[in-house]
Amino acid sequence: METGFWSLHRPRADADVGPGLDPADVVPAYKTASEVEDLAVDDGTYPITATIAHPGSLTELYTGRIKGPQLQMATDGVMRGEHAAEYSGATRMFGLVNGQLFWRWDLQTVDGEAVPHASAVLDRIASASEVDGV
């Protein structure tokens, strides 16, 4: 199990929170797809950040890029408590191929060796409205 926050790199806006108890504005920062498309960098990718927390006192900060149906990211930092497994970093890759989502998660040992940790191929399941023809 894990939980996290994912966000595209973008200029800070009034809708953003923080620091501390400074509340966010409830108005979304981007209201249209074209406003989001304007966030692409020169090579056509979208820089992204993900902060992911795991049970057992472990949190990872990832940075990466989305390019079309592919997302690649690597840890910029790993914070762990004394009982969490030791590793120095991780990478994750997601790709949409022929309607299936491919996913891979590799860890970097404290010796710097990249080792496979988990992977999956996920199939899309039709929503109730698609099954009912609504």
What are the sequence ranges of the domains in the chain?
Answer: 3-132
| pLDDT (tens digit per residue) in 66-114 | 999 999 999 999 999 999 988 899 999 999 999 999 999 999 998 989 9
* The overall pTM is greater than 0.75: yes
Contacts of 32 (CB under 8 A, 6+ apart): none
Q: Which CATH number among 1.10.443, 3.40.50, 2.60.40, 2.40.128 corresponds to the domain 3-132?
A: 2.40.128
C-alpha span between 124 and 61 (Å, rounded): 28
Question: How many CB atoms lie under 10 A from the CB of residue 93?
Answer: 16
Instruction: Provide the percentage of residues in the chain whose pLDDT is more than 70.
Output: 87
CB-neighbour burial class of residue 71 (10 A; exposed 0-12, middle 13-18, buried 19+): buried
